[in-house]
Structure 1
Amino acid sequence: MLRIALLSSALVAGLFLSAKAQSVSTTVGPLDVAAVDAVVARTLKAFNVPGIAVAVVKDGQVVMSKGYGVSSLTTKTPVDANTLFGIASNTKAFTTAALGLLVEAGKLRWDDKVTDYIPEFKMYDPYVTAEFTVRDLLTHRSGMGLGAGDLMFFPDSTDFTIKDVIHNLRYFKPVSSFRSKYDYDNNLYLVAGEVVTRVAGQPWADFVETRLLKPLGMSRSATLFSRLPDPTNVIDGHGPVEGTVRVIRRDLGTVGAAAGGMYSSVADLSKWAMMLVGGPGAPASLLKPKTQHELWSAQTILPVGPVPAAYLPYSYNTHFAAYGLGWVLRDVRGYKEVSHTGGQIGMVTKVTLLPELHLGIIVLTNQESGAAFTAITNTIEDHYLGMTGLDRVKLMADLTAASKATDGKATADVWKQVAAATKKPPSGPIIRLFWAATTMPGWVM
């Protein structure tokens, strides 16, 4: 969904992607929860985040599930494991799982044409329209530009309907050839949600809640804020406004639900993660192995860049990265990592799975700092990958500072050009919304 990045994607992408071999510890002990507590406390302060919730599942058990800080700077209510956050684009994995259930039922195939189910679907190019498949809706390779058309449902002051979104896709001129290039997209996930609606014979929201959330016991979660059964323990979103972190008005839009509308807690998402990664005591999978394999198979290649020498100790020795069906895939120190991030106004989140280790890491925040969830996620991942002595909080703080300095110079240069063109000094604030290209899992939203 909305993807707000504080660091340049090129710098962050290079940080964790390296082909230099490193030694890995063969023995990993239990997670030191107190040490994680200390890292989260530093993260709250370093990135000015009011509240964070963290959960870790391993071998079919919940290792930790905790809240930190406050859910709102207005109410000062403490965050706990049941506090609800907007998980934004982590919703996409539920949409692809819903489609997977319909594939299993024989009601559609991944490579069916979209027009088989939505006859009015039309892209700019007639050939692309004719060839566009359900799989293409999910893999960010349509040829449209990064974030094209998102203003049709963001912010929630717009009045577009799903019918309008589908109709208007025909007007977006491509910036690359069909299936040739990765450009993150939300609108085609809205179309995917409409495919679920038409094939299942019930709204996407109802299908996801009855076929995925309820069977897993995710009783506090819902596909939209307005559908929450109990909205009393819900975070407020926060973001920097004129240099101060403040509560931001909640986005109550409904059209973008299938791309990023869900609300959930780390307690509920732990059940989702355990179902996916398995292990002794984990819930029975709602998906057949073939379906889960398809969701986690590479569909669209993502670039893997070199790491500056100073950051090699922090590298996960990644060689390949790709987008699957609602998930980002890469290799980390010999293991397959399956992850996604999400960003709504005032909140960003990340879910990370290492299926071979039966490991899941969930970090939900109520501020717009991706550096915060990256520092915590990578600290926990370091433990299970046998990497020690790395201060992820300091690293991300240093990178954030460097990025702000670069952005500040770029902003000043733009204002100089404006002043020269208008022959008068600039005034007023600049609001910068970055739709950062997804080149590594920490920044997909």
Structure 2
Amino acid sequence: MKLSNLGILFYGLLVVTTTIQAQEKSTKDTININIEKQLRGFDEYGNQLLKDWNCPGIGVGIVYKGKLVYVKGFGYRDYGKKLPITANTLFQIASNTKLFTAISAGMLVDQGKLTWDNPIKNDVPSLNFYNNELNNNVTLRDILGHRTGISRHDLIWYKATTTRKQIFDKVKYLEPSAPMRTKFLYNNILYASVGEIIELKSGKTWESFVKDQIFTPLGMNTSGFELSEKKNTGDYVVPYNEKRDTNTLYQIPIFDFVNGMGPAGTIVSNINELSHWVIALMNKGKYDGKQVIPEDVISATLQPSLSLPNSELYTELQNPYYGMGREVGSYRGNVLWFHGGDIDGMHSQISMMPNKDIGVIVFVIGDQSYPLYNTVTYNVYERLLGLSLTPWNERKLKDHIAEKQADKEARSKVNNSQVSNTKPSHPIEDYLGDFDNEPYGLISISKKDTGLQFQLHQLILPLHHYHYDRFDTDNDPDLGQYSINYRTNPQGDIDGFTISLDEGEVFFNKKVDSSLTDPKTLGLYIGKYESGGSIVTVSLKNENQLFLSIPGQPDYQLIPYKKNQFKLKEFSDIKMVFKVENNKVISMTQISSSGESEFKKKD
């Protein structure tokens, strides 16, 4: 149903203002702000946004000249219980966490433990990238500026229990999608890895470092890192989304599958305490008379890493670029520092106009209404600066309605490519099992009631036959839809499948018996083998990988296939079968379409 007759939950001007005259400064403009006068009509505007967007709640905070001067709640922090939004309502700020991580890393730069622009591997030898070009060149600034050329790969961590160290170790599997420093490619995994780097270089976990170095000196005493741990405050956001193709709002679980991803987006805070953060950032790192953040660190986060494109539709925001942990642009001729944050059901925007001494904090509940954090932010600045009001709500609402209609039409045509009257090429049991990929982990396909079930981490969906050897999950409005295409190997077995994840296709191998990667088991096969005067050698490398060495040829990796059977990585139609008697290998037979060759094991 549509939201209607929602009272505006007003939590006052925390500082009742008359006209506030900005002091003349070399870096500031002189402006007059009368909060009550210049925000006249904003209450009605905010209430209208709730109705137009079916939005459960919006929170707004304004910082001016080093003080939180305005806090307002529209709608509810818990739509079901009709609980109000206050200055102390805790919400997940998601990617607005990234500036906390960039500042923390900058503090270590200031201490001489890291550098911005030397290869990060010089400072952290245990960090490994996909290739030597990245190892020899990627810097801390590249990582924090999203310019490594490595794309997101978010399903490595989404709804997973992956630890920070595991994420850090998976970086070496991430093949770049673009040359370094040529394209802005947002990457949460690399930000999480910076959290691991902070621990390696400081001796404290990222959480402890942020708490000790930022939260405590800024008086952010109720801020934390997991919303579930903060429920005892009683004042926190409960996310509600709109059911697809309806106006019905429903409660969704709080996203707490965070674990290792903290540095990329898990800080929990409120308008009151975030105002301390905004005040320090606009006051060259000082808060309450103390230098909390080194001034040069704040300056470094504002230096351009990569330019971002201007919108082709709307021209108010011009020449944006990404620094480290935040963007910088010109909004109608005024310098704007800003960053958004998005996690399931919760969205935030923290922004500042430093030359006007204004900061704006906005949080929005509901995925259907996430564009409102920009809409509200821009509207507040325009009102406070006495500018004409841009019709952001009308623009974005029109775009939103068009996108919803396009999505609905696309889903109505989903079966157009399906080939009818086909069946799988194998018995259904052959499609079951665990399928493995580094760095994504396991996808399990199992029987569930009368059908099949797909599971990647805690992402669980029903799976159905589509056509031939393709199976699709349900199209879930929250979890999405996945299509898997099984592969039959030259021996006629199902040995894996291709699935589109994140930015491309990924292949998952059917997981073999774990004993076939056990060094003790693999040790049975090591040795020299002879056939017709030719001797080949099987050796163990990297603890759990077998290789076949043939004189005059490159080494071939033996990929576990079945008990006592391996395939050549380079030639999937060739397999090597070991004959074992009394727990001792007697021979190795090469089997291919052209015949069989047996090699006797030499003692």
Q: TM-score, with normalisation over the residues of structure 2?
A: 0.62
Contact 2:121 2:127 in 1 (8 A): yes
Contact 1:209 1:223 in 2 (8 A): no
Q: Which residue of 2 aligns with 1:267?
A: 272
Q: Which residue of 2 aligns with 1:327?
A: 326
Q: Which residue of 2 aligns with 1:97?
A: 103
Aligned partners of 1:226 and 1:235: how far apart in 2?
Answer: 11
SS at the partner of 1:349?
strand
Q: Which residue of 1 aligns with 2:300?
A: 294
1:184 to 183, 186, 209: 186
Q: Call closer, same or farther: CA 1:125–1:60 in 2, change over 3 Å.
A: same
Percentage of pairs with the same residue:
27
CA drift of 1:232 comes to 1.8
Contact 1:224 1:254 in 2 (8 A): no
CA drift of 1:249 comes to 0.8
CA drift of 1:385 comes to 4.1
CA drift of 1:113 comes to 3.0
2:282 to 277, 280, 283: 277
User: Does residue 235 in structure 1 map to residue 237 in structure 2?
Assistant: yes
Higher normalized helix content (fraction of residues): 1
Aligned length: 400
User: Does residue 171 in structure 1 map to residue 170 in structure 2?
Assistant: no
Q: Which residue of 1 aligns with 2:409?
A: 409
Contact 2:91 2:227 in 1 (8 A): no
Contact 1:300 1:322 in 2 (8 A): yes
| Superposed counterparts of 1:141-152, under 5 Å | 141-145=147-151, 147-148=152-153, 150-152=154-156
Q: Which residue of 2 aligns with 1:364?
A: 363
Q: Which residue of 1 aligns with 2:224?
A: 222
Q: Call closer, same or farther: CA 1:26–1:97 in 2, change over 3 Å.
A: closer
Q: Call closer, same or farther: CA 1:406–1:183 in 2, change over 3 Å.
A: same
| Superposed counterparts of 1:149-160, under 5 Å | 150-155=154-159, 158-160=160-162
Contact 1:213 1:219 in 2 (8 A): yes
CA drift of 1:428 comes to 5.4
Contact 1:208 1:223 in 2 (8 A): no
Q: Call closer, same or farther: CA 1:277–1:35 in 2, change over 3 Å.
A: farther
CA drift of 1:433 comes to 7.1
Higher normalized strand content (fraction of residues): 2
* Contiguous gaps of at least 5 residues in structure 1: 1-24, 438-445
Aligned partners of 1:238 and 1:272: how far apart in 2?
Answer: 27
CA drift of 1:80 comes to 0.9
Aligned partners of 1:417 and 1:64: how far apart in 2?
Answer: 54
SS at the partner of 2:216?
helix
Letter in 2 for 1:167: D
CA drift of 1:342 comes to 0.5
Q: Which residue of 2 aligns with 1:30?
A: 34
Rg larger in structure: 2
Contact 1:27 1:386 in 2 (8 A): no
2:68 to 58, 62, 65: 62
Q: Deviations over 1:33-55 (max 9, x none)?
A: 45222222111221122122110
Q: Give the root-mean-square deviation of aligned CA atoms.
A: 2.9
Aligned partners of 1:198 and 1:250: how far apart in 2?
Answer: 30
Letter in 2 for 1:431: P
Aligned partners of 2:372 and 2:310: how far apart in 1?
Answer: 22
Contact 1:59 1:278 in 2 (8 A): no
SS at the partner of 1:216?
coil
* Contiguous gaps of at least 5 residues in structure 2: 1-28, 423-465, 481-500, 504-603
Q: Which residue of 2 aligns with 1:245?
A: 249
CA drift of 1:90 comes to 0.2
Q: TM-score, with normalisation over the residues of structure 1?
A: 0.82
Q: Deviations over 1:64-122 (max 9, x none)?
A: 11222222233322111110000000000101111122222232221243324433322
Contact 2:225 2:266 in 1 (8 A): yes
Contact 1:47 1:371 in 2 (8 A): no
Aligned partners of 1:353 and 1:383: how far apart in 2?
Answer: 15
